């Protein structure tokens, strides 16, 4: 059922006859055949059994652009032709294109402006939460205990398993790597110093913060972002409930309180993991291990680890909630903001960790 | 209805969500070339019926035939042939939020005819957008930038992308202002006439029922209790039908329809 050019007419071009179906299924081949015909063109539709709007469009376009004539159209095909003609309006399909140079410059400028806006916005958001907290302190009855307790469960209790396992394995890895290196100097007993100090002072808190950022920071951003899209947050505002008070503060408090507890748990599990390793591999019995830990870990190490934890928790919750509240339009943005929240909070946590490291060393907590 | 060529035939359909029975022994036939309105109180399962017919919801029992093909227990490959022949406008548009309006319209075309060249694809998209009654600058816009009425029109343009024989509309005029709603009704009627569509229309809008529906199916008590033209339905003695069409809104819509007919 191919479209064929029948050579019937004398003089001029023979009419281009289309037989069978003139629909989207054959659109590509029919378009090629029409393009191959030379002007002046007559299209004979008398053999068409079925036509759809795409077929009509192809014929109409030949009429519009090349002045082709149409013959043998049934009333139905004529009405389809009229119809596509009616809807032939200039409609913009693609966004306006810019040259690549201006686009790159524009994107760079936008990125810088966006980064600036984000920083200012984060500061503003920080201020808004402080104001909300001050309000809560003056009217403690409005404090949402239930929401906070629920967040304790989600952020803290449910993270115990994964953070415990992760920390235990980190303890084992530090013990194993430390032992391998220190054995070369016959100083494998110092593995205990290594495990004790690095986990309590640094890794316990840092790894917990990274895990909480991935687990809870992302959840905060996604939850608030989805609530923005479904207009729940707008509804809250119109009822007179402050979203910062109802949604952000409970999450902030939960993160600030849960982080030190989780960090302490992570330290214990790392010490346990390291202890089991040195017991099995180096043959240091648990009692000796604990005794050595007491001797080599100064109490200030524990303070350093525990002081950092709530600050990290605050940063994680703040970044997560802030990014969630920035969601404006669609579901893709929720994903984007969630990613940004995690990246931002982990980055800020590591920057702050460096600041803390320098600070505590310089105040003599070595 | 005489000479009815069934496009959709539902027999003995049952749907349950846990304990809740939505449909029980529901029968419905939609004939070729008609606009069938489906009405019913909130929660009577109008949308569930539509979801069952288009295969988004597997019914607990019953037979569903669309365009002569059995819809239940089909392979995905077979179902594709049917999906090509219908267009669906969801209640909230269900436009793909990461694609522009033009790209949304092109999605079904690209899926079934991947070898079409981009220029032709753009031309098709552009007149489908015009056909849906959208303004000329709507093509490159994202759904988030559109108003409610424009989202419905863009959804309609996407539903029409493959020249369907059968069009499902789930509350097309809900949330539109009366002027846009009337314009949308007119658009559907004119498209239906020109493209020889069969339309399955779920609506709460009495004006729409009077203005464009050939027949109306009433869902109540978990089944279709009556199908017919509005005068036929009015002759029935069912309390819900009487209340629906003879309530204050029903009367007002009937009056408007009369005035319209006289004018």
Does a structural domain hold residue B259?
A: no
Q: Of residues B148 and A278, which shows the higher confidence score?
A: A278
Q: How far apart are CA B1 and CA A255, in angstroms?
A: 67
Does a structural domain hold residue B137?
A: yes
Q: Of residues A17 and A3, which shows the higher confidence score?
A: A17
B157 touches A at CB < 8 Å = no
Judging contacts by C-beta atoms under 8 Å, the chain B residues touching residue A26 are none
Q: Which token pair is A253?
A: 């408090």
Judging contacts by C-beta atoms under 8 Å, the chain B residues touching residue A28 are 113, 115-117, 120
Give me the residues paired with residue B29 across strands.
B9
- Contact at CB, B113 and A88, closer than 8 angstroms: no
- Contact at CB, A92 and B136, closer than 8 angstroms: yes
Of the partner residues B120, B126, B194, the one whose CB lies closest to the CB of residue A27: B120
B65 touches A at CB < 8 Å = no
pLDDT at A8: 44
B142 touches A at CB < 8 Å = yes
| Residue A292: pLDDT over 90 | yes
- Contact at CB, A28 and B115, closer than 8 angstroms: yes
Q: Which token pair is B207?
A: 């004006």
Among the listed residues B262, B249, B222, the one whose alpha carbon sits nearest the alpha carbon of residue B25:
B222
Give the pLDDT band (50/70/90) at residue A191: very high
pLDDT, tens digit, 9 for 90 and up, residues A280-289: 999 999 999 9
Nearest CA in chain B to A97: B140
Maximum average pLDDT range among A236-245, A268-277, B81-90, B241-250: A268-277
Last residue of a domain, one of B114, B148, B163: B163
Q: How far apart are CA A266 and CA A57, in angstroms?
A: 68
Does a structural domain hold residue B256?
A: no
Judging contacts by C-beta atoms under 8 Å, the chain B residues touching residue A89 are 126-127, 130, 136
Does a structural domain hold residue B251?
A: no
Among the listed residues A352, A322, A344, A159, the one whose alpha carbon sits nearest the alpha carbon of residue A251:
A322
Q: Are B21 and B118 in a shared domain?
A: no
Nearest CA in chain B to A91: B136
| Residue A27: pLDDT over 80 | yes
What's the mean pLDDT in A138-145?
Answer: 84
| Residue A352: pLDDT over 90 | yes
- Contact at CB, A83 and B143, closer than 8 angstroms: no
Instruction: Give yes or no for a contact between A225 and A340, defined as CB atoms under 8 angstroms apart.
Output: no
pLDDT, tens digit, 9 for 90 and up, residues A156-166: 999 999 999 99
pLDDT at A12: 62
What's the mean pLDDT in B205-233?
Answer: 87
Q: Which token pair is B208?
A: 């729409």
pLDDT at A9: 43
A80 touches B at CB < 8 Å = yes
Of the partner residues A54, A87, A90, the one whose CB lies closest to the CB of residue B163: A54
What is the topology classification, in CATH, of domain A4-86? Transcription Regulator spoIIAA (3.30.750)
- Contact at CB, A79 and B194, closer than 8 angstroms: yes
Maximum average pLDDT range among A67-76, A306-315, B1-10: A306-315
Task: Name the percent of chain B in helix, strand, coil, to the closest 5.
Answer: 45, 25, 35
Q: Are B79 and B8 in a shared domain?
A: yes
Minimal C-alpha gap between A78 and chain B (Å): 11
A31 touches B at CB < 8 Å = yes
Lowest mean pLDDT among A229-238, B69-78, B81-90, B207-216: B69-78
Nearest CA in chain B to A54: B124
Q: Which token pair is A22?
A: 């003139």
- Contact at CB, A92 and B98, closer than 8 angstroms: no
pLDDT at A2: 43
Percent of all residues in chain A with a pLDDT value above 70, rounded to a whole number: 97
Q: Where in chain A are the domains?
A: 4-86, 141-362
Which among A21, A28, A90, A91 is the top mutation candidate for probing chain B, defined by the most B β-carbons within 10 Å of its own β-carbon?
A: A91
Where helices occur in A203-248 by DSSP H, the ranges are: 204-212, 218-229, 232-239, 243
- Contact at CB, A54 and B115, closer than 8 angstroms: no
- Contact at CB, A94 and B139, closer than 8 angstroms: yes
Contacts of B88 (CB under 8 A, 6+ apart): B54, B159, B167, B168, B170
Minimal C-alpha gap between B158 and chain A (Å): 14
Give the pLDDT band (50/70/90) at residue B200: very high
Which among B126, B135, B142, B165 is the top mutation candidate for probing chain A, defined by the most A β-carbons within 10 Å of its own β-carbon?
A: B126
Q: Are B56 and B186 in a shared domain?
A: yes
- Contact at CB, A87 and B139, closer than 8 angstroms: no
Q: How far apart are CA A155 and CA A147, in angstroms?
A: 12
pLDDT at A10: 42
Does a structural domain hold residue B263?
A: no
B187 touches A at CB < 8 Å = no
B167 touches A at CB < 8 Å = no
Q: How far apart are CA A279 and CA A188, in angstroms?
A: 12
Does a structural domain hold residue B247?
A: no
Minimal C-alpha gap between A242 and chain B (Å): 25
Neighbours of A54 (CB within 10 A): 27
Does a structural domain hold residue B234?
A: no
Q: Are B69 and B98 in a shared domain?
A: no
A99 touches B at CB < 8 Å = no
Q: How far apart are CA B46 and CA B57, in angstroms?
A: 13
Check residue B235 and report its DSSP letter: T
Minimal C-alpha gap between B186 and chain A (Å): 15
Lowest mean pLDDT among A281-295, B72-86, B152-166: B72-86
Of the partner residues B112, B131, B138, the one whose CB lies closest to the CB of residue A87: B131
Minimal C-alpha gap between A317 and chain B (Å): 28
Contacts of B203 (CB under 8 A, 6+ apart): B37, B38, B39, B169, B171, B172, B173, B174, B209
Q: How far apart are CA A319 and CA A338, in angstroms?
A: 10
Q: Are B135 and B24 in a shared domain?
A: no
Number of compact structural domains in chain B = 2
B119 touches A at CB < 8 Å = no
pLDDT at A5: 44
Q: Are B45 and B107 in a shared domain?
A: no
| Residue A312: pLDDT over 90 | yes
Nearest CA in chain A to B195: A80
How high is the mean pLDDT of chain A? 89
Judging contacts by C-beta atoms under 8 Å, the chain A residues touching residue B92 are none
| Residue B47: pLDDT over 90 | no
pLDDT, tens digit, 9 for 90 and up, residues A90-109: 778 888 877 889 889 999 99
Q: Are B107 and B2 in a shared domain?
A: no
Q: Are B81 and B180 in a shared domain?
A: yes
Which among A33, A80, A83, A93 is the top mutation candidate for probing chain B, defined by the most B β-carbons within 10 Å of its own β-carbon?
A: A93
Minimal C-alpha gap between B38 and chain A (Å): 28
pLDDT, tens digit, 9 for 90 and up, residues B91-137: 888 888 888 899 999 888 888 888 888 888 888 888 889 888 888 88
Q: Of residues A5 and B162, which shows the higher confidence score?
A: B162
Q: Of residues B47 and A355, which shows the higher confidence score?
A: A355
Does a structural domain hold residue B261?
A: no
| Residue A6: pLDDT over 50 | no
What's the mean pLDDT in B33-58?
Answer: 87
| Residue B251: pLDDT over 70 | yes
| Residue A3: pLDDT over 60 | no
What's the mean pLDDT in B190-212?
Answer: 86
A329 touches B at CB < 8 Å = yes
| B49: containing domain | 1-85+166-229
């Amino acid at each position: 059922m191919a479209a064929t050019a029948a050579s019937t007419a004398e003089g001029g071009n023979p009419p281009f006859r289309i037989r069978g179906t003139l629909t989207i299924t054959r659109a590509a081949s029919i378009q090629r055949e029409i393009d191959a015909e030379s002007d002046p063109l007559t299209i004979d539709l008398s053999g068409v059994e079925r036509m759809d709007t795409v077929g009509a469009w192809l014929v109409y376009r030949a009429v519009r652009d090349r002045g082709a004539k149409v013959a043998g159209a049934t009333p139905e095909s004529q009405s389809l032709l009229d119809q596509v003609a009616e809807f032939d309006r200039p409609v913009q399909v693609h966004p306006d294109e810019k040259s690549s140079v201006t686009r790159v410059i524009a994107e760079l400028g936008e990125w810088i402006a966006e980064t600036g806006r984000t920083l200012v916005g984060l500061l503003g958001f920080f201020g808004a939460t402080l104001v909300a907290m001050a309000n809560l302190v003056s009217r403690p009855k409005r404090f949402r205990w239930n929401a906070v307790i629920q967040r304790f469960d989600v952020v803290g209790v449910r993270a115990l398993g994964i953070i415990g396992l992760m920390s235990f394995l980190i303890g084992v890895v530090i013990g194993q790597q430390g032992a391998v290196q220190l054995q070369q100097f016959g100083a494998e007993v110092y593995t205990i110093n290594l495990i004790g100090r690095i986990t309590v002072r640094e890794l316990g808190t840092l790894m917990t913060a990274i895990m909480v950022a991935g687990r809870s920071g992302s959840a905060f951003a996604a939850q608030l972002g989805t609530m923005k899209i479904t207009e729940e947050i707008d509804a809250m505002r119109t009822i007179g409930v402050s979203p910062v008070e109802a949604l952000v503060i409970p999450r902030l408090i939960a993160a600030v309180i849960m982080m030190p507890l989780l960090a302490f748990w992570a330290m214990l599990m790392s010490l346990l993991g390291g202890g089991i390793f040195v017991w099995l591999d180096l043959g240091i019995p648990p009692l000796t291990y604990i005794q050595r830990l007491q001797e080599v870990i100064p109490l200030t190490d524990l303070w350093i680890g525990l002081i950092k934890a709530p600050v990290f928790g605050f940063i994680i919750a703040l970044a997560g909630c802030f990014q969630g509240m920035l969601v404006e339009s669609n579901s893709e943005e929720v994903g984007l903001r969630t990613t940004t929240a995690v990246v931002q909070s982990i980055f800020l946590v590591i920057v702050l960790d460096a600041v803390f490291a320098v600070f505590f060393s310089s105040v003599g907590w070595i | 209805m005489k000479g009815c060529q069934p496009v959709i035939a539902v027999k003995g359909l049952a749907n349950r969500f846990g304990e809740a029975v939505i449909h029980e022994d529901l029968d419905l036939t939609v004939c070729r070339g008609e606009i069938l309105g489906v009405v019913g109180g909130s929660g009577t399962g109008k949308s569930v019926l539509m979801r069952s017919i288009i295969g988004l919801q597997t019914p607990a029992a019953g037979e569903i035939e669309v365009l002569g093909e059995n819809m239940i227990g089909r392979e995905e490959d077979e179902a594709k042939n049917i999906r090509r022949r219908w267009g669906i406008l969801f209640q909230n548009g269900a436009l793909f939020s990461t694609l522009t309006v033009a790209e949304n319209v092109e999605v079904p075309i690209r899926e079934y005819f991947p070898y079409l060249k981009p220029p032709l694809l753009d031309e098709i998209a552009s007149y489908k957008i015009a056909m849906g009654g959208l303004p000329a600058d709507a093509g490159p816009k994202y759904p988030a930038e559109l108003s409610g009425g424009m989202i419905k029109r863009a959804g309609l343009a996407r539903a029409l992308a493959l020249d369907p024989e059968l069009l499902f509309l789930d509350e097309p005029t809900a949330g539109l202002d009366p002027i846009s709603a009337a314009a949308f009704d007119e658009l559907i009627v004119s498209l239906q006439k020109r493209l020889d569509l069969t339309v399955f229309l779920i609506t709460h809008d009495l004006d729409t029922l009077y203005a464009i529906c050939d027949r109306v199916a009433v869902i109540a008590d978990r089944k279709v209790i009556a199908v017919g033209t509005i005068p036929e339905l009015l002759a029935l003695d069912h309390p819900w039908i009487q209340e629906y069409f003879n309530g204050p809104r029903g009367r007002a819509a009937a009056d408007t329809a009369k005035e319209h007919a006289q004018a």
